[in-house]
């Protein structure tokens, strides 16, 4: 079996591309559109990554711009001497790690729990409600958060003060803010993220559960020995992808949620780049930061993938 | 058969989209290259004119345009684009298309054969937006911003046209511009060393800046007098706090005795300035003065200490730092009548006609409710030191290098500076936007539909003029108080008088470009807000620690470098004197 399997691709390779093209041209044409999209919107803009190594000018084309000092690494040096950058780097790492540690298991648990629900209609209602926050923009979520968490006018704090407690600075104290940030992030995304796990659970062979029942396994045993192993590949793939994004950050979430009082822990790389690059016109510096960010992300991705393969999982490629 | 049909269909789609992409690409490249070409032509044309006027003196000066204009008109229609702020007012008119833009377009076409198109830029994110437009090569031909360091940054990248030759060579063609702005505003930003001029300063017709407003009806209810000292102001806001039940009844918990926003430096400016030595030297004020909210001036810290105490005593709005610029929450609270006092632009509660704070307040609270202006922050000499603005320092007008019509653009500036045009744009049509009183005083009426002015006196269109400026100066003074529709003119008169008492006009210190300021404007401004906000809301014990740490961060992030360079350039230009030459 194995030998044959190996042989087949070799034989296929021998056939020329032209033959394939002739036979499956419709498929290639279909493929062309997404390829074109990638080329135009993902690869062509990459030409401008060289801004990181050049002295930016709004009037020159990117090829004409002169190389920055220190063999082009001027702006990387500048970035690492910039306390704001170091601060943003730290915040990005901390917030993303917290997101990962606290936020990653939530959709899995949710999917497991949902899967145990017998009453189908209730399950569907819960699921839909859980998805909903995903479709809210972060600006709206911040608006809601202000209504609920603001120190004097927030609904929650008004109840607390009404009961004679001190109001809790959910949004205006750094440590509390981090908690609020993580909480809102989980609240917004866990329902949506659970879809993948639910799909994976649906793909598990139901005979396994029947067999387990016959063997006398209870709910938790089934969950532990069948469901979890069944969705393990999915979990690993998503974990690897999440790890790859450990230094990446979305812009709208921190930007919408941050305020001047918590800037020391709320400024992340994406907002740093926005403030210094788009607002401050330091395009070279912020491209350097973005470039650095991407490289670290790729390294993490490769590392996580390698580890998962070492541990016997499939990884993402 | 079906399959084949489908594939043919899909292929068709593909081919179409490919063609579309291709032509799109081609279009943009063509535009790009033509853009650069014209810019080159343009610079060479500009050089030509300068060379000519240098070489043949009087003859060339007689016609610096090489016969492009006949009776002030171009032979062929030219096209320019002009930036206009979009304030996103609730019930505003379309800033790029209303009765005022129609007037401008018609007049420009008739007078100069120039077609004008307006490009809306959101007022509260103007710098970011213009950055994007410039970087994309799409910036309007006539750009404006309040932020000079930004212009300087563009200029250093070669993105801005040098206006020095245009204003001088075309001087005879620009009588209105020169009459209105004068050398002071036109040459305000001229580099003393190399003579470049990247921007022209629009002029403030009214140099009023900031006032303190308090609820007169609350004072009356509590039997208090209008405060005349800081102590009395403090006593007043404490009385507001302690009598919340009486003043607001069921809404007592919403009481905000004194409201500041995240922009503490502006919204407590009179308090801050009262702590600055009125005899501060020009040198010291300039060197410490990069931040236009006085963050690094000597004395500011003690002013913020006062605010910090008030904050901790429950006299300020707890949530002030959570709402960012352009948010209307605070205004809404003032309109709803929860706020006892605030500081803002000198006429802030009276602006915006039907939508003004004052009108709304009366509508929601009652006819007695009103904000009056008080003058209560005394300085160490007992006066009420107020740093009013100079005639410049308002909007800066610049042409990006993508502007291929500098002459037409200059003519536009001349047109928009003509007294009649300014008057028309500011007061509109009689019977529609204003009435004439018996003595000729103009009284502004609330307008509707396409006659609505999105900014007070349409300052967004009169880009060289901010503030009421009628053809007749005397009438201007009389009309100012009547220019706020629905507002008691007496309130405006007091506001105008108070903010012109004990003033210290700003002076122009021009020692050339400060390299350290480049690109720092927005970054340091947001740092400044962080310093102010965190210091105000710190606990009283932590105040020194928080303030000092914030200032240290501000200084090491570029603030100190700016101060050092300013000091150095001052010495190079003016020597050891600490006063500006008269």
Over residues A259-299, the pLDDT tens digits come to 888 998 999 999 998 888 877 778 888 899 989 988 988 89
Binding-face residues of B in 493-532 toward A, CB within 8 A? 519-523, 526, 529-530, 532
Q: Answer whether B157 sits within 8 Å of A26, measured CB to CB.
A: no
Whether the per-residue pLDDT at B43 is higher than 60: the answer is no
Please compute the mean of the pLDDT values over residues B450-478 and round it to a whole number.
87
Tokens for B197?
């001029």
* Residue A152: per-residue pLDDT: 80
A248 lies in some domain: yes
Residue B556 contacts A where some CB pair is shorter than 8 Å: yes
Do the two domains B65-205+391-471 and B210-387+504-574 of this chain adopt the same fold?
yes
Of the segments A19-23, A217-221, B406-410, which one has the largest average pLDDT value?
B406-410
Note whether A37 and A77 are same-domain residues: no
Looking at residue B227, the DSSP 8-state letter turns out to be P
| Average pLDDT of the residues of chain A | 86
Top-confidence residue, A218 or B3: A218
* Residue B213: per-residue pLDDT: 95
How far out from the chain centre does Cα B428 lie? Answer: 22
- CA separation for the pair A40, A249 (Å, rounded): 23
* Residue B403: per-residue pLDDT: 93
Backbone φ, ψ for residue B443 (5° rounding): -115, 125
A228 lies in some domain: yes
* Residue B15: per-residue pLDDT: 47
Note whether A22 and A136 are same-domain residues: no
Binding-face residues of A in 257-276 toward B, CB within 8 A? 259-261, 263, 275-276
Note whether A148 and A27 are same-domain residues: no
**Residue where the block lists tokens 């160490």:** B380
A135 lies in some domain: yes
Top-confidence residue, B432 or B409: B409
Note whether A81 and A189 are same-domain residues: yes
What residues in A contact B263, CB-CB < 8 Å?
none
What residues in A contact B526, CB-CB < 8 Å?
260, 275, 279
What is the tens place of the pLDDT at every residue in B286-338?
A: 999 898 899 999 999 999 999 999 999 999 998 898 888 778 889 999 999 99
Give the chain A residue whose CA is nearest to the CA of B401: A59
- CA separation for the pair B80, B400 (Å, rounded): 12
Whether the per-residue pLDDT at B167 is higher than 60: the answer is yes
Facing B529 at nearest CB: one of A36, A58, A260: A260
Distance from CA of A184 to the nearest CA of B (A): 17
- CA separation for the pair B469, B205 (Å, rounded): 6
Mutation site for B-interface testing, chosen from A23, A279, A282, A286 by largest number of B Cβ within 10 Å? A279
* Residue B3: per-residue pLDDT: 53
Please compute the mean of the pLDDT values over residues B531-540 and round it to a whole number.
94
Give the chain B residue whose CA is nearest to the CA of A85: B557
A59 lies in some domain: no
Binding-face residues of A in 75-104 toward B, CB within 8 A? 82-84
CB B335 within 8 A of CB B361: yes
* Residue B42: per-residue pLDDT: 42
Partners of B215 in beta bridges: B371
DSSP H or E segment with residue B211 = strand B210-215
- CA separation for the pair B472, B457 (Å, rounded): 16
> What DSSP assignment string belongs to B104-140?
HHHHHHHHH-EEEEEEEEEGGGHHHHHHHHHHTT---
CB B236 within 8 A of CB B219: yes
Residue A234 contacts B where some CB pair is shorter than 8 Å: no
Residue B40 contacts A where some CB pair is shorter than 8 Å: no
What residues in B contact A150, CB-CB < 8 Å?
318-319, 322
Looking at residue B160, the DSSP 8-state letter turns out to be B
Confidence class of residue A78 from pLDDT cuts 50, 70 and 90?
Answer: confident
Partners of B144 in beta bridges: B397
Cα atoms in the 13 Å half-sphere on the side-chain side of B331 = 17
Note whether A27 and A89 are same-domain residues: no
CA dihedral for A110, A115, A118, A124, sign (positive or negative): positive
CB A309 within 8 A of CB A301: no
Long-range contacts of A215-220 (CB under 8 A, 24+ apart): A219/A116
Confidence class of residue A13 from pLDDT cuts 50, 70 and 90?
Answer: low
C-beta neighbour count of A159 within 10 angstroms = 11
Task: Kindly report the length of chain B.
Answer: 582
In terms of CATH architecture, what is B210-387+504-574? Answer: 3-Layer(aba) Sandwich (3.40)
Backbone φ, ψ for residue B191 (5° rounding): -70, 125
- CA separation for the pair B328, B341 (Å, rounded): 17
The CATH code for residues B65-205+391-471 is 3.40.190.10
- CA separation for the pair A191, A177 (Å, rounded): 23
Contacts for B477 with CB less than 8 Å, ≥ 6 apart: none
Residue A56 contacts B where some CB pair is shorter than 8 Å: yes
Q: Answer whether B7 sits within 8 Å of A29, measured CB to CB.
A: yes
* Residue A136: per-residue pLDDT: 92
Note whether A215 and A282 are same-domain residues: yes
Confidence class of residue B114 from pLDDT cuts 50, 70 and 90?
Answer: very high
Cα atoms in the 13 Å half-sphere on the side-chain side of B190 = 14
What is the tens place of the pLDDT at every residue in A39-77?
A: 999 899 888 888 899 888 877 788 888 888 888 898 999
Alpha helices per DSSP H over B417-538: 419-427, 473-480, 489-498, 521-536
What is the tens place of the pLDDT at every residue in B498-514?
A: 988 888 877 888 888 88
Facing B522 at nearest CB: one of A172, A280, A283: A280
Alpha helices per DSSP H over B57-94: 58-62
Helix (H, G, I), strand (E, B) or coil at B413: helix
CA neighbor of A145 nearest in space, from A105, A175, A185, A110: A185
CB A181 within 8 A of CB A95: yes
b/e code A9-23 from CB counts within 10 Å (16+ = b): eeeeeeeeeeeeeee
- CA separation for the pair A54, B63 (Å, rounded): 43
Give the chain B residue whose CA is nearest to the CA of A56: B157
CB B464 within 8 A of CB B472: no
Domain boundaries, chain B: 65-205+391-471, 210-387+504-574
* Residue A315: per-residue pLDDT: 65
Confidence class of residue A12 from pLDDT cuts 50, 70 and 90?
Answer: low
Tokens for A48?
């401008």
Top-confidence residue, A24 or B37: A24
Q: Answer whether A58 sits within 8 Å of B530, measured CB to CB.
A: no
CATH classification at residue A205: 1.10.3720.10
Q: Could you give the C-alpha distances from B428 to B83, B228, B431, B435, B481, in angstroms and in order?
A: 21, 39, 9, 10, 17
Please compute the mean of the pLDDT values over residues B329-350 and round it to a whole number.
92
Top-confidence residue, A59 or B136: B136
Note whether A78 and A40 are same-domain residues: no
Note whether A12 and A161 are same-domain residues: no
Task: Count up the domains in chain A and report the number.
Answer: 2
Please compute the mean of the pLDDT values over residues B129-151 and round it to a whole number.
88
Distance from CA of B576 to the nearest CA of A (A): 34
Regarding beta strands B339-345 and B256-259, do their DSSP bridges make them parallel or antiparallel, or are they unpaired? parallel
Backbone φ, ψ for residue B426 (5° rounding): -80, -40
State the Cα torsion B374-B375-B377-B383 to the nearest 10°. -170
DSSP H or E segment with residue B300 = helix B300-312
C-beta neighbour count of A285 within 10 angstroms = 26
CA neighbor of B106 nearest in space, from B465, B458, B424, B457: B424
Tokens for B288?
């410490």
Binding-face residues of A in 196-215 toward B, CB within 8 A? none
A65 lies in some domain: no
Whether the per-residue pLDDT at B170 is higher than 60: the answer is yes
Q: pTM of whole model > 0.90?
A: no
List the Cα angle B65/B70/B76 in 5-degree steps: 85
What is the tens place of the pLDDT at every residue in A172-214?
A: 888 999 999 999 999 999 999 999 999 999 888 889 988 988 9
* Residue A188: per-residue pLDDT: 93
Give the number of beta-carbon pairs within 8 Å between A and B: 101
Mutation site for A-interface testing, chosen from B42, B322, B531, B552 by largest number of A Cβ within 10 Å? B322
CB B233 within 8 A of CB B227: yes
Helix (H, G, I), strand (E, B) or coil at B434: strand
Backbone φ, ψ for residue B252 (5° rounding): -55, -35
Confidence class of residue A164 from pLDDT cuts 50, 70 and 90?
Answer: confident
What residues in B contact A26, CB-CB < 8 Å?
7, 10-11
What residues in B contact A30, CB-CB < 8 Å?
10
Alpha helices per DSSP H over chain A: 2-14, 17-23, 25-38, 74-81, 83-98, 105-116, 120-131, 138-149, 155-162, 174-202, 206-214, 219-222, 228-244, 252-257, 263-266, 269-273, 283-310
CB B24 within 8 A of CB B129: no
Note whether A268 and A215 are same-domain residues: yes
Q: Answer whether A281 sits within 8 Å of B537, measured CB to CB.
A: no
List the Cα angle B32/B36/B39 in 5-degree steps: 140
Please compute the mean of the pLDDT values over residues B193-217 and round it to a whole number.
91
Contacts for B327 with CB less than 8 Å, ≥ 6 apart: none
Please compute the mean of the pLDDT values over residues A25-42 and round it to a whole number.
91
Whether the per-residue pLDDT at B406 is higher than 90: the answer is yes
Whether the per-residue pLDDT at A9 is higher than 90: the answer is no
Lowest mean pLDDT among A100-104, B318-322, B476-480: B476-480
CB B141 within 8 A of CB B410: no
Whether the per-residue pLDDT at B14 is higher than 60: the answer is no
* Residue B20: per-residue pLDDT: 42
Q: Answer whether B127 sits within 8 Å of A279, measured CB to CB.
A: yes
Q: Answer whether A57 sits within 8 Å of B128, measured CB to CB.
A: no
Task: Kindly report the length of chain A.
Answer: 317
CB A145 within 8 A of CB A257: yes
A264 lies in some domain: yes
Q: Answer whether B321 sits within 8 Å of A261, measured CB to CB.
A: yes
Give the chain B residue whose CA is nearest to the CA of A59: B159
A112 lies in some domain: yes
Facing A57 at nearest CB: one of B158, B523, B533: B158
Residue B21 contacts A where some CB pair is shorter than 8 Å: yes
Facing B522 at nearest CB: one of A33, A59, A279: A279
> What DSSP assignment string belongs to A19-44?
HHHHHSHHHHHHHHHHHHHHIIIIIG
- CA separation for the pair B115, B414 (Å, rounded): 15
| Average pLDDT of the residues of chain B | 84
Whether the per-residue pLDDT at B476 is higher than 80: the answer is yes
- CA separation for the pair B394, B423 (Å, rounded): 19
Q: Answer whether A172 sits within 8 Å of B537, measured CB to CB.
A: yes
A291 lies in some domain: yes
- CA separation for the pair B412, B80 (Å, rounded): 9
* Residue B146: per-residue pLDDT: 87
Mutation site for B-interface testing, chosen from A143, A168, A261 by largest number of B Cβ within 10 Å? A261
Facing B534 at nearest CB: one of A40, A57, A261: A261
List the Cα angle B217/B219/B221 in 5-degree steps: 70
Note whether A190 and A265 are same-domain residues: yes
Confidence class of residue A99 from pLDDT cuts 50, 70 and 90?
Answer: very high
Facing B318 at nearest CB: one of A29, A151, A280: A151
What residues in B contact A59, CB-CB < 8 Å?
39, 157-159, 401
Distance from CA of B570 to the nearest CA of A (A): 25
Percent of chain B with pLDDT over 70: 89
Note whether A198 and A121 are same-domain residues: yes
Tokens for B445?
């009426």
Regarding beta strands B465-466 and B203-204, do their DSSP bridges make them parallel or antiparallel, or are they unpaired? parallel
Range of the domain at A110: 70-310
Looking at residue A50, the DSSP 8-state letter turns out to be G
Contacts for A26 with CB less than 8 Å, ≥ 6 apart: B7, B10, B11
Mutation site for B-interface testing, chosen from A25, A44, A58 by largest number of B Cβ within 10 Å? A58
Note whether A29 and A110 are same-domain residues: no
CA neighbor of B534 nearest in space, from B547, B544, B525, B524: B547
């Amino acid at each position: 079996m194995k030998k044959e399997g190996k042989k087949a691709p070799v034989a296929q390779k021998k056939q020329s591309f032209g033959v394939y093209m002739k036979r499956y041209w419709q498929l290639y044409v279909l493929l062309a559109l997404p390829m074109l999209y990638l080329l135009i919107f993902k690869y062509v803009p990459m030409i401008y990554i060289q801004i990181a190594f050049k002295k930016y000018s709004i009037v020159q084309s990117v090829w004409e711009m002169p190389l920055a000092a220190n063999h082009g690494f001027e702006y990387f040096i500048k970035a690492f001497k910039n306390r704001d950058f170091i601060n943003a780097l730290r915040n990005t790492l901390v917030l993303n790690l917290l997101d990962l540690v606290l936020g990653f298991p939530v959709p899995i648990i949710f999917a497991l729990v949902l899967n145990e629900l017998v009453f189908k209609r209730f399950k569907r209602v819960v699921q839909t409600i859980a998805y909903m926050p995903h479709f809210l923009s972060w600006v709206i979520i911040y608006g809601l958060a202000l209504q609920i968490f603001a120190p004097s006018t927030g609904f929650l704090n008004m109840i607390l003060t009404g009961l004679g407690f001190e109001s809790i600075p959910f949004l205006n104290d750094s440590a509390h803010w981090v908690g609020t940030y993580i909480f809102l992030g989980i609240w917004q995304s866990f329902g949506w993220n659970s879809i993948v796990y639910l799909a994976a659970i649906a793909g598990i062979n139901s005979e396994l559960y029947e067999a387990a029942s016959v063997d006398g396994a209870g709910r938790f045993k089934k969950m532990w020995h069948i469901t979890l192993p069944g969705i393990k590949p999915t979990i690993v793939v998503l974990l690897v992808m999440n790890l790859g994004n450990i230094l990446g950050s979305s812009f709208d979430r921190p930007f919408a949620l941050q305020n001047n009082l918590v800037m020391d822990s709320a400024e992340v790389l994406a907002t740093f780049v926005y403030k210094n690059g788009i607002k401050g016109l330091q395009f070279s510096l912020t491209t350097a930061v973005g470039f650095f960010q991407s490289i670290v992300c790729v390294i993490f991705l490769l590392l996580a993938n390698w580890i998962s393969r070492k541990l016997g999982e499939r990884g993402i490629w | 058969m079906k399959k084949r049909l489908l594939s043919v269909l899909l292929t068709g789609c593909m081919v179409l989209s490919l063609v579309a992409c291709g032509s799109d690409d081609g279009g943009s490249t063509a535009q790009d290259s033509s853009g650069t070409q014209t810019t080159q032509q343009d610079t060479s044309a500009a050089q030509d004119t300068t060379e000519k006027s240098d070489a043949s003196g009087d003859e060339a000066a007689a016609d610096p345009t090489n016969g492009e204009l006949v009776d002030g008109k171009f032979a062929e229609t030219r096209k320019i684009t002009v930036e206009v702020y979009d304030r996103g007012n609730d019930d505003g008119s379309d800033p790029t298309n209303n009765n005022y833009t129609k007037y401008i377009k018609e007049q420009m076409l008739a007078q100069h054969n120039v077609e004008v198109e307006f490009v809306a830029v959101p007022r509260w994110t103007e710098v970011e937006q213009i950055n994007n437009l410039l970087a994309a090569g799409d910036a309007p031909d006539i750009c404006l911003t309040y932020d000079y360091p930004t212009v300087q940054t563009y200029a250093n990248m070669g993105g801005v046209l040098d206006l020095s030759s245009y204003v001088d060579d075309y001087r005879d063609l620009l009588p209105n511009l020169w009459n209105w702005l004068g050398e002071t505003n036109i040459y305000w930003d001229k580099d003393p060393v190399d003579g470049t001029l990247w921007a022209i300063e629009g002029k403030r017709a009214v140099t009023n800046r900031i006032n303190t407003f308090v609820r007169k009806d609350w004072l009356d209810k509590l039997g208090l007098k209008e405060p005349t000292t800081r102590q009395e102001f403090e006593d007043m806001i404490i009385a507001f706090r302690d009598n919340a039940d009486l003043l607001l009844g069921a809404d007592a918990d919403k009481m905000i005795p004194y409201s500041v926003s995240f922009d503490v430096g502006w919204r407590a400016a009179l308090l801050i300035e009262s702590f600055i030595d009125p005899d501060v030297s020009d040198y010291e004020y300039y060197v410490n003065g990069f931040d236009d909210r006085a963050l690094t001036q000597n004395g500011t810290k003690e002013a913020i200490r006062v605010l910090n105490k008030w904050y901790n005593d429950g006299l300020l709005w707890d949530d002030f730092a959570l709402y960012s610029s352009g948010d209307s929450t605070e205004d809404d609270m003032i309109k709803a009548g929860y706020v006892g006092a605030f500081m803002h632009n000198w006429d802030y509660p009276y602006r915006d006609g039907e939508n003004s704070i004052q009108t709304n307040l009366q509508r929601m609270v009652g006819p007695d409710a009103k904000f009056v202006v008080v003058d209560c922050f005394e300085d160490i000499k007992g006066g009420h030191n107020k740093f009013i603005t100079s005639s410049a320092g308002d909007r800066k007008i610049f042409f990006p290098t993508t502007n291929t019509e500098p002459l037409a653009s200059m003519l536009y500036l001349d047109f928009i500076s003509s007294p009649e045009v300014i008057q028309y744009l500011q007061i509109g049509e009689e019977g529609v936007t204003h009435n004439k009183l018996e003595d000729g005083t103009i009284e502004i009426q609330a307008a509707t539909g396409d006659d609505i002015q999105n900014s007070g006196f349409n300052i967004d269109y009169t880009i060289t003029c901010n503030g009421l400026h009628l053809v007749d100066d005397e009438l201007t003074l009389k009309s100012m108080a009547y220019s706020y529709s629905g507002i008691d003119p007496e309130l405006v008169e007091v506001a105008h008088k108070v903010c012109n008492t004990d003033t210290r006009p700003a002076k122009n210190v021009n020692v050339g470009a400060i390299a350290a300021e480049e690109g720092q404007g927005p970054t340091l401004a947001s740092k400044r807000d962080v310093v102010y906000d965190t210091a105000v809301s710190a606990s009283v014990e932590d105040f020194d620690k928080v303030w000092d740490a914030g200032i240290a961060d501000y200084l090491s992030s570029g603030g100190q470098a700016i101060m050092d360079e300013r000091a150095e350039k001052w010495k190079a230009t003016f020597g050891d004197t600490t006063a500006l030459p008269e």
